[in-house]
Amino acid sequence: MQREGEELVWLMDAYNPRTVEEVFRDFKGRRAGMIKALTTVLGLVFFADVGEFFQQCDPEKENLCLYGFPSEQWEVNLPAEEVPPELPEPALGINFARDGMQERDWLSLVAVHSDAWLLSVAFYLGARFGFYKTDRERLFNMINDLPTIFEVVTGSAKKHTNEKLLVSNHSSKKSKSNSKPGSEAQTKYSKAVPSQDEVDDGIEEEDEDEHGEALCGACGENYADDEFWICCDICEKWFHGKCVKITPARAEHIKQYKCPSCSGNKSARPS
């Protein structure tokens, strides 16, 4: 088949030297071609390929596959006859489910399998060219920065982008109050005896960094490992539980904690 010859020639010519950047460029080209086949609009660019793709996937034909090429082109064809193939093969028989599903659902299904194929090709090339751990990790991170084909086809890529912007805008406000005061209080109360997993992951050190220079908003004393503290959700100041008369058990039932100053109650007792 002409496709197999083109693939082999491209592999021999383009990967000398064989680098992470070249494999990523291969990934992006194949991905772009498959997106053309599975979508009608991407940004301001209109792709008419999806109609042609739909027509080519005739359920009356044999097992068909969707291939993407580094040149940003796509092709519906029979699987390679070579065993084992030069490259991992895409999902077989994508045409059989075409008329038994809603078109959008069918395109989404093909998109999921296309994402899996792209990853398998990229890491096959990485293994073949002897990428070490750091190279594989760098390749994955470069790939992971791009939306998946499934996200593009279903429109969830745009939704995820908007969610990330919202998280970024509010990250500073959530840094000290990203969990309910009850569960937060329980974490501080129990951290004097951390689990082995917490020690291994460095969580204990993180907590110490966060509270090591904190002063109680009531008594002005420093944070200590064996003391229960609670944070006000309004002013975000930290307090000894004993200074504001809050126990760990009581904190578990508080949805939003207001310190005495923020609640208008000045009866906080010093330690």
Domain positions in the chain: 12-161, 229-263
Q: Residue 57, Cα to own-chain centre: how many angstroms?
A: 31
Is the bond preceding residue 17 a cis peptide, omega within 30 degrees? Answer: yes
The two tokens of residue 169 are 């805008």
The CATH code belonging to domain 229-263 is 3.30.40.10
User: pLDDT of 201-236, one tens digit each?
Assistant: 444 444 444 444 578 888 878 777 677 888 888 888
pLDDT band at 47 (very low <50, low <70, confident <90, very high): low
Please write the tens of the pLDDT for every residue from 52-81. Answer: 999 999 999 999 999 999 999 999 999 988
- Identify which of 41, 86, 94, 36 has the alpha carbon closest to the alpha carbon of residue 64: 94
Return the half-sphere exposure (C-beta side, CA atoms, 13 A cut-off) of residue 188.
28
HSE of 6, CA atoms in CB hemisphere, 13 A: 11
